[in-house]
Each structure stands twice: as C-alpha cells, then as structure tokens.
C-alpha cells in the first residue's frame, strides 16, 4: 500500500492521501508522492482536472507525531515550511480539494492551496501549528488572507482554533460545505464538468492569471493588458471555433489543444 494513490478516468485524476490507519497523517514520503503526482498530472493532457481527497473518514490529521522522524524536532538545513512543490495553485490544471473529513495543521494548509475546496459540514478544521509551538506552513500566511481576508487569517493563524465546515463556508475558506459522505461526489461533479466543458488551455490560462494577480498585486489596467494578451493566444484557435460550434449544436465539445506542448508562461504586465 502506498501513502498516496492515483486514479485517472474521464479526464479527472483523483489523488488520495492513503494512510487511513493513521488518519492520513502527513509524512515526508506522502509529500514526495504528492509532489510527483502533481507534476505528472500537470504534464498529462489526458488530465484536465485534479481532485485531492483522503482515504477513510479523514482528509489529513496533520503531521504524523508518531513517525520516527519527529516533524518539529529540529530546524535542519534541509527543512522547508513549504514541502508542497509545486503547490496546487502553481499548477496549470484546476485542483479541487475534497476535504472529506478532519483536516488539521498541514492537512488544512495543503487544502488551502487548491483552487476550489469542498468541505464536510461536521468535520474539524484548524491551522493548529501555533498550538504546537510552531507557525502555519504551506504559505498559509498568503493563502488564508487572499481567500478569506486579513481578519479571518489573523483569527485562525493566531489562535489555532478549531472550526467546522459550515463556518469554513461562511468565512469563504470553503467554496461549499456538504455532508461528509457527499464531499467527494460534489468535488467529482465539479471536476468532471471542467474536464468535459472547459477548454484545457482556457482553464490553464485563467487559473495562472487569477493566482498571478493575487501573488503580484496587479492593478486593474495591468490585468486588462494581460487578459488582452491571453485572448490573443486563444482567439481563432481550433478550440475557440469548437467551443462556439458545440454550443450552437448543443453537444459536448471536443477539445484538441495541448497545454503540455503549447504552453507559454504568462508575460509580465
């Protein structure tokens, strides 16, 4: 059994944190496998959306304190507070986190890096690191304020308190809350819709522009320039013609663009 499983079908890759006997507690090996899976899926044109979830009834209970290598025991030269490399928001492929149960510490901060989060109503969530003598990781001091604002970020990062999925949705951390047994189904429906109905290059360009705008603080006119530049990349392409034709014919589109072969990084505004 591997600490992370990957299944791919109908354009959707499902990455499952797979240590249910330890409530999917995070280990270095699990992180390495997740990084590799993210890279491979992002380079695979057959994968148009990624769903990240946890095996059993927990998403990820946080760092594994029972592991032989204690997570907070020392600050070696090799230590990084951002072991997710690439982060989900750095991919071109849309990532939906199906947070099907408790997500504590790094379990939650990894999910915060996804584009869309579906979270369980009654599960427990916390950026609890401050209560363990450390601080939030995985760029949570950037993701949280951008997702939910500085007031919510300060509340969660400075107190490390626990909240549920209903509050997560109210705060803007969860895009949607659902019953625990329905979280994965909701996430899969969103992923399948993207994989079927959204042009791959359009999704990749829009995602990169969205996160780059947040990261660099682009002004409205800078975003307008970038939107114009990126429109020039897709206007007149086979997928642009196909999107209109499929809409008029009332059928599912047949996309042909290759993000892996035709990708060009976004320009600086």
Does residue 174 form part of some domain? yes
pLDDT, tens only, 139-197 = 999 999 999 999 999 999 999 999 999 999 999 999 999 999 999 999 999 999 999 99
| One domain for residues 190 and 79 | yes
Q: What are the beta bridge partners of residue 118?
A: 98, 176
What is the reported pTM? Answer: 0.95
| Tally of structural domains, the chain | 2
| One domain for residues 166 and 206 | no
| One domain for residues 98 and 174 | yes
What is the structure's pLDDT at 79? 83
| One domain for residues 122 and 148 | yes
| One domain for residues 113 and 209 | no
> Which of the listed residues 159, 179, 194 is the one where a domain comes to its end?
194
- Concatenating the DSSP letter of every residue in 62-128 gives SB-TTSSS-TTS---TT--S---SS-GGGSSS-EEEEE-SEEETHHHHHHTTSSEEEEETT--EE-G
Q: Domain range for residue 140?
A: 4-194
| One domain for residues 121 and 241 | no
Does residue 269 form part of some domain? no
State which residues of the chain have pLDDT below 50. Answer: none
- Answer for the pair 60, 15: CB distance below 8 angstroms, yes or no: no
Write b or e for each residue in 220-250: b if 16 or more Cβ atoms lie within 10 A of its Cβ, otherwise e. Answer: eeeeeebeeebeeeeeebebbebbeebeeee
| One domain for residues 225 and 176 | no
What is the structure's pLDDT at 98? 98
- Report how far residue 82's alpha carbon sits from residue 96's, in angstroms, rounded to the nearest whole number: 19
């Amino acid at each position: 059994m591997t600490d992370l499983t990957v299944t791919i079908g109908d354009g959707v890759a499902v990455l499952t944190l797979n240590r249910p006997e330890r409530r999917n507690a995070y280990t270095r090996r699990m992180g390495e496998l997740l990084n590799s899976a993210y890279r491979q899926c992002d380079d695979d044109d057959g994968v148009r959306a990624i769903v990240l979830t946890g095996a059993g009834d927990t998403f990820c209970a946080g760092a594994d304190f029972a592991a032989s290598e204690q997570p907070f025991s020392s600050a070696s030269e090799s230590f990084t507070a951002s072991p997710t490399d690439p982060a989900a928001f750095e991919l071109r492929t849309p990532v939906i986190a199906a947070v099907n149960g408790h997500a504590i510490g790094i379990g939650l901060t990894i999910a915060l890096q996804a584009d869309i989060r579906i979270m369980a109503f009654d599960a427990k969530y916390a950026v609890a690191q401050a209560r363990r003598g450390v601080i939030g990781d995985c760029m949570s001091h950037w993701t949280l304020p951008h997702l939910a604002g500085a007031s919510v970020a300060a509340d969660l990062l400075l107190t490390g308190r626990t909240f549920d999925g209903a509050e997560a949705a109210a705060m803007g951390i969860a895009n949607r809350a659902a019953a625990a047994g329905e979280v994965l189904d909701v996430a899969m429906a969103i992923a399948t819709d993207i994989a079927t109905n959204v042009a791959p290059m359009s999704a990749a360009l829009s995602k990169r522009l969205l996160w780059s705008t947040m990261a660099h603080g682009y002004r409205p006119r800078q975003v307008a320039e970038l939107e114009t530049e990126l429109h020039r990349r897709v206007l007149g392409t086979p997928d642009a013609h196909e999107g209109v034709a499929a809409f008029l014919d009332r059928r599912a589109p047949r996309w042909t663009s290759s993000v892996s072969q035709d990708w060009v990084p976004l320009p600086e505004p």
